[in-house]
Amino acid sequence: MAIIGSRLKHVSKEMTKQMFISKLLEKGITHDKHGTSIHDMDYYSLRQELVMADFRDRDVDSPDNKWF
């Protein structure tokens, strides 16, 4: 049973990784700041790149996005 759980976790991460790649491509991002293709990145690097892309998309002049 542990083998099935481990395999399911791997498949789930791969599906999430593909979702990250898809969202980055929608934003027009194909490489990170170091020139690494998003298709060559691991799960955690893709997650970080997507977070940073979302952060850059924030309209900081909007009152809804003010921190203080």
> Looking up tokens 């027009």, which residue turns up?
28
Domain ranges of the chain: 2-58
Rg (CA), the chain: 16
| Helical (H) or strand (E) element with 51 | helix 43-56
Distance CA 65, CA 68 (A): 9
pLDDT at 58 (0 to 100): 73
pLDDT at 18 (0 to 100): 96
Average pLDDT for runs of 10 along the chain of length 68: 64 91 96 95 96 82 66
pLDDT at 1 (0 to 100): 52
pLDDT at 11 (0 to 100): 74
